[in-house]
Amino acid sequence: MTGSSLLAGGVHPAVHTLDAASASADGVAQFAWLLLALPLCGAVVLLVGGRSTNKWGHLLGCGTVILAFCYGLALFLSTTASSVAGRVQELHIFSWIPVNALQVDFGLRIDPLSVTFVLLITGVGALIHVYSVGYMSHDADRRRFFAYLNLFVAAMLLLVLGNGFVTLYFGWEGVGLASYLLIGWYQNRPSAATAAKKAFLMNRVGDVGLAIAIFLMFANLGTTQYSEVFARIGTLPSGTILAISLLLLLGACGKSGQFPLQAWLPDAMEGPTPVSALIHAATMVTAGVYLIARANPIYDLTADGRLAVTIIGTITLLIGCVIGCAYDDIKKVLAYSTVSQIGYMILAVGLGPIGYALGIIHLLTHGFFKAGLFLGAGSVMHAMNDEVDMRKFGGLARKMPVTFVTFGLGYLALIGFPFLSGYYSKDAIIEAAFGQEGWRGWVFGGAAMLGVALTAFYMTRLMLMTFFGKQRWKDLRSSEGEEFHPHEAPAVMTIPMIVLAIGSVGAGFFFTSDNRIARWLEPSLGELRETGHGPIPQLWLTVLSVGLMVVGAGLAWLFVGRKPVPVTKPEKVSWVVRAARYDLYGNALNEALFANPGAALTRALVTADDKGVDGTVTGVAGLLGFLSSWLRRTQTGFVRSYALTMLGGSVLVVAALLMVRFA
Amino acid sequence: MGTALLIALLLLPLAGGVVVALLRGDDRVAKLVAITVALAELVLAVLAWLSYVPGAARIQFAGSVGWISRIGVHLSFGVDGIALAMIGVIALLVPVVIGAGWADKVPEGRTVSGMLSLILVQQSLMVAVFAATDVFVFYVLFEIMLVPMYFLIGGYGGARRQYAAVKFFLYSFFGGLIMLASVIGCYALAADRTGGGSFDWATLVAVTKEAPLSTQVWLFFGFFLAFAIKAPLVPLHTWLPDAAEQAPIGVAVILVGVLDKVGTFGFLRYCLPMFPDASRTLAPLVIVLGVLGVLYGSLLATGQRDLKRFIAYVSIAHFGFIAIGIFAFTSQAQVGAVTYMVNHSLATGMLILVIGMVIARGGSTSIADYGGMAKLTPLLAGMFLVAGLSTLSLPGTNSFISEFLVLLGSYPTQPVAAVFATIGMILAALYVLWLYQRIMQGPVRGAALIPSEPADAAPARTRIVDLSGREVAVLAPMVALIVLLGVYPKPVLDVVTPSVAATLTSVGAADPVVAQEGK
């Protein structure tokens, strides 16, 4: 598989010892840089070209991503066609940061894991680009929107394709920028700007973890490239490995909205809905799962690190479910659902070799159905003058049949309805969690199982409030005072929804039958291992989870389906609901712990700097103060003040010389 | 060839400055001559960059003429990769600054030609201070360099310009005098050891590095204090916010972008090689000051209400990073510090220019007077964001390379400091994005953008317009370099790395070796 490798050219000063499993890229993979170049060119042309590209900007935006998807397919086919041993390839592009021992390569790693993500990102990305042509058609700045979306796709592809932790970091912060720009899209809303800034900041907290993990790798291994880090990580003491794994987890928490950094993701719903679907549901927020799966040789070596990952995933999946039950904003419910579902994925990858593939499979199926659900929500908002309050919806099923059916399939897939996507991917995780030894099996498995009931509850509540019941919007007016006239979306929007709905139905079975995806990912994630058998037989687990799903859905029907939904939010609620409405006090905690003390400290420092530090330094130099006023009064003072300060200087010189002599 | 090039680099702006000073009558001609000279200097700098051979002799383009032979002072010049990088920055910033200030008004009683002449003279002096290889000549230039800057701030600045200029001058001058004491100390030491006094840098290095630690410490402090005031490091920073606030925009760019770098350059060229034992002994102290600077500067930047003071505190934070990088004694950290000196000039220089364009439109330096400006001036907002993203060291921009190298390189020797400094990354995101939010995002608001009086009562305020072609032309090369040096920094790293390696060798530090199998 070496063939005409780019590495063999000898231009590269650093000799990277590729690990045994990887070869230099050849054939189709030689052109993998196109994956980055295509969307990047789109973004640059649209941003630099400015208004002159307004007419065709959206077409260029879609075109680059569709082309990237086509190339991704070719790459996938050529990878499957090669022998299993040759499926991990590296493509060196240029030497990025070379300083003596540090040799950061700008290169791509083409292996089953990255190729899988390429298909997800460009595939779902292309659908959402197409959808956005319709969704953003009324926005005068649509061209710039496509520029940002293209920028996002390029950065996300770099994130998953980079062949080292620093290239990953490049993509990691790059998607953060795209996310920042798109969350803050609606310029008129101050809340959008605040949400964008919050997302970037909380991500940066995670990024600091990722950065320090990279510093640790360099300090201990002298490299940051995957192939070298993974080959030598085993030589490090277990404490260092644990530290690296926890710092990577911090990074994952920031990007993936995991506890304790989950609060930015629901606020990110300020962005246009296609952005929520692509960035804040299907791709970017799952980067944390990718990171942990990618770093599997590190996590394999640290049981404590894996346990921490599992605990974070478990806590987050419950937080997401509970808060999701209390919100009336359709996008926020879906956002917390995303938080919770990523919790499942993080839980899965924390289980180690048995779980990496399970986490990725759930990530893929989730990519389909959650993107579909968000596009459906966007379609509803499009029809309802951008209203997001589900209390003002109701009975929309008949007005928007395509949206209803596609959304309904996504809903069934998410709650784990038998034989749809989520059923396969989520049940496998629950089963693996129960398979853990001792208390872990019961705690993690139990929490994952409880999550099933809660998920069914909040999603059924969402379905009922939106598509069923009385058409409450008939007696209401929009915030601009107009009547609501819900209608089905145009084909450019419904077709992507239909495609994603098909994925929501079939992907789970397709991916898991015959362990198809798990086997395909083996060269990246290690050999597939059987889930251990827990205290409860598998059949019983399936029965239990389906049963809990029915219970959750039934409870939702009891609460909102059976009786009319009040248009205004009831204020007399239990403390649980109140806490959930306040995001379980996550934001309040952040404010009390960081924001308020930080602001107070800053105010104090500003005062101290003006009065204290400046005063002291200027005061101690009393002579200087005197001189300065004197200097200002005398017009010819320059020479004389020179003389005086020279005198002072000479005294110092003599003093210094004396000290030197005596020393 | 190389030496001639360096002499031309030294003298061209000076000659240009004299010519421009004579053109008092015609502003337009003065501007044209000034920008031509500045662009010619840029061409010379590019030529110098191309003819410099990385990894060859430590000091290249060297030349020397006797000056004060009684005490062995020579006008000796030459550059290493670090000095060359700084000279490149000056050559780039001066034409940009002249272009950006093309339409600016000068205070009553002052002339445009006077200001441009001072800027060109300042440029000559800065090239000289980086190129000097005689310690006495360096000292003289270090002090003389203050004079044009004093007049630039005091003559062309804001309302409190006199106070700021005097404060700037006295702080720096005071530091310089203490350095003079050390310079004389070094001379005396050399006279003692070798029988004949010398101010030649290489000769002095050979003598002082052998001096006992206690001697080195005293001499080190003399240099260090001067450089720490210039850089500036906390707590010697308080002159900078006043100076940056009062200086005209272009002068602020030169002040923060280049003049301050003489301090960090001094650490590298004088403190470390001349006093290696003292440098190693006192490194923890400097590292603490650096971390303090990062956190303190960042928090104060967050709390500022004035746009120009904001810039000053951002720079103080960045100088903290540079100090950490220099005194962490690994090649990665120090290369990071040197590239930080270049990249900070580009990023902060561009930020100052963009803020200047904001102020030129709104007529106020108070942050509270602005809001939602992106709606009126989308292009300006975009440029603001690019400068801001570089300031917060986003990967893909130049600053990421240097900040990442400083932190990554410091970690092996100074892990605690590196971790604390990494928190500065979060704070940088906070102060940049919060400022962007307050000025650019949301609905249009603020006294500077919406006049409170009825339009017909007051003299009609010029409508807020987006960037002109000239402004775009000034900023475009900055954007291009910010992205280029972020994606492909290798050309700069290759020039800087051998000089840093030489500096580290002279201080007796080597990169920590990682135990590796098969390597």
Nearest CA in chain A to B176: A649
In a domain, residue B78? The reply is: no
Residues A517 and A626 in one domain: no
Per the structure, the count of domains in chain A is 2
Choose the closest CB to A235 out of B426, B441, B517: B517
- Answer whether residue B62 is part of any domain: no
**pLDDT digits over A18-30, tens only?**
444 567 777 888 8
Please give the share of chain A, as a percent, with pLDDT higher than 70. Answer: 88
Any long-range contacts for B33-38 (C-beta under 8 Å, 24+ apart)?
Answer: B34/B98, B34/B116, B34/B117, B34/B119, B34/B120, B35/B95, B35/B98, B35/B99, B37/B12, B37/B13, B37/B120, B38/B13, B38/B91, B38/B94, B38/B95, B38/B98, B38/B120, B38/B123
- Minimal-distance CA residue of chain A relative to B371: A190
Per-residue pLDDT reduced to its tens digit, A353-379: 888 999 999 999 999 999 999 999 999
* Residues of chain B contacting residue A157, judged by C-beta atoms under 8 Å apart: none
Considering only CB atoms, A617 lies closest to which of B238, B304, B423, namely B238
The CA distance from B505 to the nearest CA of chain A, in Å, is 14
Partners of A218 on chain B (C-beta within 8 Å) are 332, 408, 411-412
Read off the pLDDT band of A93 (50, 70, 90): very high
Structure tokens at B165: 């200029």
- B2-58 pLDDT tens trace: 889 999 999 999 999 999 999 888 888 999 999 999 999 999 999 999 999 988 888
Please judge whether A660 and B218 are an interchain contact, meaning their C-beta atoms are less than 8 angstroms apart: yes
Q: How far is B67 from chain A (nearest CA, A)?
A: 22
- Among the partner-chain residues A169, A201, A632, the one whose CB lies closest to the CB of B166 is A632
Asked if A469 contacts A564 with a C-beta cutoff of 8 angstroms, the reply is: yes
Q: Is residue B341 part of a domain?
A: yes
Residue A400 lies in a domain: yes
Domain that holds residue B493: 275-451+465-509
Which has the minimum average pLDDT: A100-109, A650-659, B111-120?
A650-659
Nearest by CB: B422 against A99, A211, A614 = A211
Inspect the interface and report whether the beta carbons of B489 and A97 lie closer than 8 Å: yes
- Asked whether residue A170 carries a pLDDT value surpassing 50, the answer given is yes
* Residues A533 and A423 sit within 8 Å (Cβ to Cβ): no
pLDDT above 80: residue A535: no
Q: Kindly report the backbone phi and psi dihedral angles of residue A638, in degrees, each rounded to the nearest multiple of 5, phi listed first.
A: -55, -55
Question: Does the distance separating the beta carbons of B212 and A169 come in below 8 Å?
Answer: no
The confidence band for A2, taking pLDDT boundaries of 50, 70 and 90, is very low
Rounded distance between C-alpha atoms, residue B357 and residue B363, angstroms = 10
B167, B303, B441 member nearest A187 (Cβ): B441
Per-residue pLDDT at A620: 52
Cβ distance B395 to A102 less than 8 Å, yes or no, reads no
Q: Is residue B209 scored above 60 in pLDDT?
A: yes
Specify if A72 maps to a domain: no
Place of tokens 């930020």: B351
Taking each helix axis from N to C end, the angle separating B81-100 and B27-51, rounded to the nearest 10 degrees, works out to 160
User: Is A419 part of the contact surface with chain B (CB cutoff 8 Å)?
Assistant: no
pLDDT level of residue A649 (50, 70, 90 thresholds): low
Interchain proximity B332–A99, CB inside 8 Å: yes
B97 Cβ partners below 8 Å, 6+ apart? B119, B250, B251, B253, B254, B353
A631 and chain B in contact, CB less than 8 A: yes
Confidence band for B159, pLDDT divided at 50, 70 and 90: confident
- Chain B interface includes A15 (CB < 8 A): no
Contact at CB, A201 and B430, closer than 8 angstroms: yes
Q: Which of A148-162, A642-656, B137-151 has the lowest mean pLDDT?
A: A642-656
Could you list the residue range(s) of the whole structural domain that residue A179 is in? 163-569
Q: For residue range A275-322, what is the model confidence (pLDDT) as tens digits?
A: 999 998 889 999 999 999 999 999 999 999 999 999 999 999 999 999
Q: In this predicted structure, what is the pLDDT of residue A527?
A: 82
Instruction: Chain A: give the shortest CA distance to residue B510, in Å.
Output: 11
Q: Is the pLDDT of residue A646 over 70?
A: no
State whether A565 and A632 are in the same domain.
no
Quick check: is A220 in a domain?
A: yes
Q: Please give, rounded to a whole number of angstroms, the shortest distance from the CA of A606 to a CA of chain B.
A: 6
DSSP-derived 3-state class of residue A143 = helix
Contact A218 B433 (CB under 8 A): no
Query: Does residue B257 lie in a domain region?
Result: no
Strands of the A88-99 sheet, one edge to the other: A22-24, A88-99, A102-110
Confidence bin at B228 (pLDDT 50/70/90): very high
The better pLDDT of the pair A486, B405 is held by: B405
Residue A260 and residue A333 share a domain: yes
Look at residue B484 and tell me if it is in a domain.
yes
pLDDT band at A603 (very low <50, low <70, confident <90, very high): confident
Q: Examine the fold and report which residue of A534, A553, A569 is the final residue of a domain before the chain moves on.
A: A569
223-282 in chain A: CB under 8 A from chain B: 232, 235
Q: What pLDDT, on a 0 to 100 scale, did the predictor assign at position A636? A: 42
Within this chain, do residues A305 and A404 fall inside the same structural domain, yes or no?
yes
Mean pLDDT of all residues belonging to chain A: 85
Residue from B404, B466, B492 whose CB has the most chain A CBs within 10 Å, to mutate: B404
Number of domains in chain B: 1
| Residue A176, min C-alpha distance to chain B (Å) | 10
The pLDDT score that the predictor gives to residue A371 is 92
Q: What is the pLDDT of residue B50?
A: 92
Among A143-152, A209-218, B144-153, B452-461, the least confident range: B452-461
Q: Give Cα separations from B396 to A284, B308, B344, B393, B486 (angstroms).
A: 18, 26, 15, 8, 5
Dihedral of CA B498/B504/B508/B514: which sign?
Answer: negative
- Identify the domain boundary among A530, A547, A569: A569
Give the bridge partners for B63, in sequence order.
Answer: B77
Min Cα distance B433 → chain A (Å) is 6
**pLDDT at residue B448, as a whole number:** 81
Same-domain check for residues A174 and A249: yes
A105-154: pLDDT as tens digits = 999 999 999 999 999 999 999 999 999 999 998 888 899 999 999 999 99
Q: Is the pLDDT of residue B105 over 90?
A: no
Whether A506 and A628 share a structural domain? no
Cβ-Cβ contacts under 8 Å between A and B: the total is 204
For the cut 70, the answer to whether the pLDDT of residue B502 exceeds it is: yes
Instruction: Assess: ipTM above 0.90.
Output: yes
Considering only CB atoms, which chain A residues are within 8 Å of B146?
none
Do A515 and A653 fall into the same domain? no
Helical (H) or strand (E) element with A109: strand A102-110
Rounded mean pLDDT of chain B? 89
Helix, strand, or coil here: B219? helix
Choose the final residue of a domain: A547, A569, A591.
Answer: A569
pLDDT value of residue A289:
95
Contact assignment for B443 to A188 by CB distance below 8 Å: yes
User: How far is residue A553 from each of residues A38, A119, A458, B70, measured CA to CA in Å?
Assistant: 45, 33, 8, 97
Selecting from B174, B335, B407 the residue whose C-beta is nearest the C-beta of A99 gives B335
Q: Is residue A98 part of a domain?
A: no
| Distance from the first to the final alpha carbon of chain B | 42
Which of B136, B151, B170 should we substitute to test contact with A (largest number of A Cβ atoms within 10 Å)?
A: B170
Strongest mean pLDDT among A507-516, A531-540, B317-326: B317-326
Same domain, A374 and A496: yes
Q: Does residue A16 register a pLDDT over 70?
A: no
Q: Is A485 part of any domain?
A: yes
- Across the range A450-466, mean pLDDT stands at 92
Between CA B383 and CA A206 the distance in angstroms is 27
Residues of B in contact with A633 (CB under 8 A): none
The reported pLDDT for the residue numbered A415 is 92
Residue A255 has pLDDT above 90, yes or no: yes
- Whether residue B398 is predicted with pLDDT greater than 50 in this model: the reply is yes
Is the per-residue pLDDT at A8 higher than 90?
A: no
Put simply, the answer to whether B516 touches A222 (Cβ < 8 Å) is: yes
Share of chain A above pLDDT 90, in %: 51
pLDDT tens per residue, range B285-321: 999 999 999 999 999 998 888 999 999 999 999 999 9
Pick B224 or A639 by higher pLDDT: B224
Considering the domain architecture, whether residues A534 and A636 belong to the same structural domain is answered as no
CA separation for the pair A202, B218 (Å, rounded): 45
Number of H helices and number of E strands within chain B?
Answer: 21, 2
State pLDDT tens for residues B427-481.
999 999 999 999 999 888 888 888 765 555 444 455 788 888 999 999 999 999 9
Residues of A in contact with B437 (CB under 8 A): 193-194, 197
Q: Do A99 and B303 touch (CB under 8 A)?
A: no
The pLDDT of residue B32 is 93
Q: CB-based contact (8 Å) between A607 and chain B?
A: no
Q: Which residue has the tokens 């108070």?
A: B366
Most confident of A447-461, A575-589, B61-75: A447-461
Q: What is the dihedral of CA B382, B387, B389, B393, to 10 degrees?
A: 170
